[in-house]
Amino acid sequence: MDQSNTKLGLINGNVDINQVITTDGNEKKKVARRRWAILAKALKSPSGSEPSSPTDECSIRRISSFMLLKTQKLENVLQSIDTQAIDKIDKRTWYKYCMNIDEQEYFVVVGHKKRTFSAEDLMGFNNTGNICIWPSEETLTYYLVANLNLFHHKTVLELGGGMSCLAGLFCGKYASAKNVVLTDGNKISIENVEISMHLNKFTCPVSCQVFKWGETKSDVKFDVILSADCLFFDEARSALIDTIWDTLDINGIGLVMAPNRGNTLQNFIQQSENKGFKCREIKNYNNTVWERHLQLLENNDYDENIHYPILIELTKL
């Protein structure tokens, strides 16, 4: 058996959670194994299968939610649809992601594939979005639904939407946009988004596709570009900025949600301004989100540098 795979808890290409947790080693190795265990657990059973809590004891993030979204596991979804994708739909566990704003409920349905993820699935193009709903995605979605008028009759592109493209789904369902395109660089994510689209009714044309920053070319310009927590990897930052520049209409706006995370956000802003963007950094972009942020400051596990998403508006000068 390959020793490198064994050390990571990988057996026959699959993640063995028990081995990952129980293998002995020094502290750094234990942390690495714990991360693999968290990753495997999250991939096999999505976080948020029940109404979320602001802290997650089995998470590197520690703060897993701003309590803006609630989830409900759905049963018998096949009874409510008539589609050729029934086989793929049946291979997923389905969840209702909902929020309440001004006493009105908004929701979309998202599938999570029933399968064992292999080591190969964890490698390759950024798989971060395959894991869970991150706080930046949660807050961007909430901001979008609270400001649906910003997207009315607009063409909208979501970049790096991950396994759910949550903000884009809500936009397609409630914003009466002109059209919405959902994208991610990971094929598994887009396959899941495509199937999820079958269980949601939209008010405009909605499509999805694999879109790799710096590689995929597009002649189409969009009025609004959405991106949540896509600044995690330094090496991808320039490609993301170039992609936003190439796909954003001259009068359009980019909405990027991400925490400071050290110098990551400021580096993004600096590079964006060097590209020719005007960047507006908005810390208090929604009263409800801001109140949750202030409440969480009393939690010792909450570090606003890595947990609180900041909204960046990008426009072309």
Three-state SS string over 55-107 comes to ECCCCCCCECCCCCCEEEEECCHHHHCCCCCHHHHHCEEEEEEEEEECCEEEE
Residue 84 has pLDDT above 70, yes or no: no
Arithmetic mean of pLDDT, 247-267: 97
Arithmetic mean of pLDDT, 261-289: 97
Arithmetic mean of pLDDT, 218-231: 96
Q: Any idea how long the chain is? A: 317
Arithmetic mean of pLDDT, 54-60: 40
pLDDT of residue 12: 42
Identify any residues that bridge with 63 across adjacent strands, giving them in sequence order: 55
SS3 of residue 228 by DSSP = strand
Output the 3-class SS for 163-203.
CCCHHHHHHHHHCCCCEEEEEECCHHHHHHHHHHHCCCCCC
DSSP state of 116: P
Q: Say which range, 24-33, 129-138, 197-206, 281-290, has the weakest mean pLDDT.
A: 24-33
Arithmetic mean of pLDDT, 276-303: 96
Mean pLDDT over all residues of the chain? 81
pLDDT of residue 283: 98
Residue 94 has pLDDT above 80, yes or no: yes
Using alpha carbons, select from 154, 174, 240, 168 the residue that is nearest to residue 207: 168
DSSP state of 307: H
Arithmetic mean of pLDDT, 215-227: 95
Predicted confidence band at 115 (pLDDT cuts at 50, 70, 90)?
low
Q: Cite the DSSP H helix spans in 184-263.
A: 187-197, 237-247
pLDDT of residue 234: 83
Arithmetic mean of pLDDT, 154-180: 97
pLDDT of residue 29: 59
